[in-house]
Structure 1
Amino acid sequence: MAREGSKTLGDHYEGVAERYLTQKGVRVVGRKVTNRGGEIDLIGYDNETLVFFEVRFRGHGSLTDPASSVNYAKQKTLLKAVSFYLHKHQLWNAMSRIDVIAIRPGTVKKYRVQWIRNAIEAG
């Protein structure tokens, strides 16, 4: 049951992130893209750059901020999922990056969204 609730919460915050990114000019082309490497929350174009987004939310009582929750293991999984995606779609030479969208409850607005560009690099 908790897993189902987590999925519903994840879907909600991915929607929040998608609306935020669309307002910032990102053209979202994929949501919850799954392959053998793992799952990519959102995929979109920021101008000519193909961007893979990891969406993270942490509430008021959390001891960590959302961006810090993207640990080494999650970074490895994301890199693998992105590599599979680029290979499958023959986008070997595409300009691409992995960004994190960190969402927290806001005080003035409902949510405080932080867009961390190029948050995870292969290397």
Structure 2
Amino acid sequence: MNPAPGISPAPLTVDDDRLFSSDPTQRAIARRLYAGVRALPIVSPHGHTDPRWFGDNEAFTDPATLLIIPDHYVFRMLYSQGVPLESLGVPRQDGGPVEHDARKIWRLFAKHWHLFRGTPTRMWFQHAMH
């Protein structure tokens, strides 16, 4: 949805403490711990990325291939609301046809963006797009 002519959307602002406890004592501890590791690389066995992406260091062709198709949190939410996995480009187990038009996939995701209100997935997306 485009804003009306002459109206600019407000920039997204995120609080640095958004993932910390609201308890002041716990938040202070979390800030100190985070300050000690914030510059370190993330090494996680639970990743949604193919390690070859980092080794090959090639540009991604489109946001759907990077952010929608491989992310089970995204496609499961949409599927739970009646969006067929095939329309999101998610490969079928039987090798059957799926959507390959990245723009169609991205537009379908955007059409259902409201479903992610209040979810960790939306928080992550907003952070990634910031």
Please, what TM-score do these two structures have when normalized by structure 2? 0.23
Which protein has greater RCO, CA pairs closer than 8 Å, 6+ apart? 1
Higher strand share: 1
Please, what TM-score do these two structures have when normalized by structure 1? 0.24
Whichever of the two has the greater Rg, that structure is 2
